[in-house]
Amino acid sequence: MRPTLPRRSDMPGPKVYNLWWGDKSGGTQRGIVQYTISPYQTKAAPHWLRNYIFNGYRRLSGEVLFFGIPIAIGYGVYTWAKGFDEYQNSKAGHLAAGGAE
């Protein structure tokens, strides 16, 4: 009967300190520090509405040139084109273009 040897890794190569994914047979690593926060300090979102109003206004006001001007130009072009189209399709627009009613 032939003994079965456990496989350490699927990756060939030299022996390294880091183990392959999911391999827990190497023991614990040294030099790893874990920090924790008190559960009383981990509020999910304290004062989120007040912070969003003031900080959000400050952040958005700094970016208004980048989205406000293109929106204003687009809205101006849209209103001009809509008014011009209504004029062209009106009775006065047809008469001004030299067409019949």
Q: What pLDDT shows up at residue 77?
A: 98
Summarised one tens digit per residue, pLDDT across range 82-99 is: 999 999 999 999 898 887
pTM: 0.46
Q: What pLDDT shows up at residue 43?
A: 73
DSSP string, the chain: -PPPPPP--SS-SS--SSPPTT--TT-PPSS-------GGG--S-TTHHHHHHHHHHHHHHHHHHHHHHHHHHHHHHHHHHHHHHHHHTSHHHHHHTT---
Q: How far is CA 37 from the centre of its chain?
A: 27
Residue 5's CB is within 10 A of a number of other CB atoms, namely 6
Q: Does the pLDDT at position 8 exceed 90?
A: no
Q: Where are the domains of the chain?
A: 64-100
Summarised one tens digit per residue, pLDDT across range 40-89 is: 777 777 778 888 888 889 998 999 999 999 999 999 999 999 999 999 99
Q: What pLDDT shows up at residue 50?
A: 84
